[in-house]
Homo-oligomer: A and B are copies of this chain.
Amino acid sequence: MDNPTIKEIALRAGVSKSTVSRIISGKGYSSPEARDKVLALIEELQYKPNAVARAMVSQRTHNIGVLLYRRDHPIASHPFYGKIVDAILLAAASLNYSVFVTTDHDMSYRSADFMMEKRVDGLILISRLQQNVIDHITKFGVPYVMVNGSTDVDGVIHIVNQDEEGGRLVAEHLTRTGHDRIFVIAGPQTHRSHHLRFKGFMTCMALSGIEVPEAAVRYAETSTFAEGYDIMSRQWGPFRAGRYSAIFATNDMLALGAMKFLLEQSVRIPEQISVVGFDDIDFAAMFAPSLTTVKVDAGEMGRQSIKLLDQLIRQEPNVAHPSQLQPKLIVRQSTK
């Protein structure tokens, strides 16, 4: 039942464990006879090298940790972050890394410390990590990259979308399609991406000479569907009065929540109100009507993150900081 060891193989093959090791790793000399015998035994005994023992001597586990911060529940199943995780999993496998996925709550150091005990080769930090957690991790001296984090930290590889540009794309699309009374639902401004999307949008609107008054902006506490729905329900008065012709929400969840409320009030989208979101989560395309949004390439974020992390781990000389990802406007049924 127990896993056979290299010693076991050596014993049966009548050679030393050094020889077996050499044959397995393929470096150093070995005679064809020894090779055949050992290889046959490996097959027969279903020998699987013990990665723990290997890690012990090589000081490399070939494991990496993914840390997600969670406040509002969804984590792996989050429609956006889940996509990043998926891409990481796939890309990591192709580079022979195994991935610990872990979700840090209540901003403790617990998961991070845990990953350190496990001696991961590197870390990927996703979403909003508190600054103190980042400082804590930095002290370990383990390579890490951030993905779509809440803030930029100097010198840290940070994979992000060109969110400001994305905001601009939205403004452009809405103004070009004739909207000038736009309501904005701005997600948590403490988060880099919500902030920049909002900023990019506002800047571009100002440049177009279209005013977005203070009253037309609502700041959301969270970036959830429920929050979008709530905000819209509280704004129902002005909307019924025809004050606005379009809505921009800084992420899809907020946009969909808002849409849901409007549809329940029998508002026709896009005939009466146009809606634009941001992220292009799967559900954006599935909603009825489907949501016009800005695509953030979560898959590419995941792939880049582990590619860069791998370079850091292997200590490649000059790891290029990645360029920000290009957002892309996706026009669907919710705008006209």
Chain A residues within 8 Å of B, Cβ to Cβ:
1-3, 46, 48-53, 55-56, 61, 63, 73-79, 82-83, 85-86, 89-90, 93, 98-103, 110-111, 113-119, 139, 141, 225, 256-257, 259-260, 263-264, 282-283, 286-288
Contact call B77/A85, Cβ cutoff below 8 A: yes
The chain B residue with its CB closest to the CB of A101 is B101
Q: Which residues of B contact A115 (CB under 8 A)?
A: 98
Contact call B51/A73, Cβ cutoff below 8 A: no
Contact call A102/B98, Cβ cutoff below 8 A: yes
Contact call B100/A98, Cβ cutoff below 8 A: yes
Q: Which residues of B contact A61 (CB under 8 A)?
A: 52
The 3 closest A-B pairs by CB, nearest first: A77-B82, A263-B288, A76-B76
Contact call A77/B78, Cβ cutoff below 8 A: yes
A75 in complex: contacting residue of B52, B74, B86, B263, CB < 8 Å: B86
Contact call B89/A75, Cβ cutoff below 8 A: yes
8 sample A-B contacts, Cβ–Cβ < 8 Å, listed by A number: A50-B117, A75-B89, A76-B85, A98-B115, A100-B100, A101-B101, A257-B286, A260-B286
Contact call A282/B119, Cβ cutoff below 8 A: no
Bound complex: CA A279 to CA B75 (Å): 19
The chain B residue with its CB closest to the CB of A120 is B98
Contact call A118/B103, Cβ cutoff below 8 A: no
Bound complex: CA A259 to CA B110 (Å): 44
Bound complex: CA A52 to CA B120 (Å): 10
A288 in complex: contacting residue of B52, B103, B264, B282, CB < 8 Å: B264
CB distance from A157 to the nearest CB of B (A): 19
Q: Which residues of B contact A55 (CB under 8 A)?
A: 52
Bound complex: CA A260 to CA B282 (Å): 14
CB distance from A7 to the nearest CB of B (A): 14
A56 in complex: contacting residue of B56, B117, B259, B286, CB < 8 Å: B56
Q: Which residues of B contact A46 (CB under 8 A)?
A: 139
CB distance from A110 to the nearest CB of B (A): 8
CB distance from A199 to the nearest CB of B (A): 28
CB distance from A185 to the nearest CB of B (A): 16
Contact call A82/B76, Cβ cutoff below 8 A: yes
Bound complex: CA A55 to CA B90 (Å): 27
The chain B residue with its CB closest to the CB of A55 is B52
Candidate in A74, A75, A86, A115 with the most chain B CB atoms within 10 angstroms: A86
The chain B residue with its CB closest to the CB of A2 is B141
Bound complex: CA A100 to CA B2 (Å): 22
Contact call A101/B99, Cβ cutoff below 8 A: yes
Contact call A86/B73, Cβ cutoff below 8 A: yes
Q: Which residues of B contact A114 (CB under 8 A)?
A: 98
CB distance from A308 to the nearest CB of B (A): 20
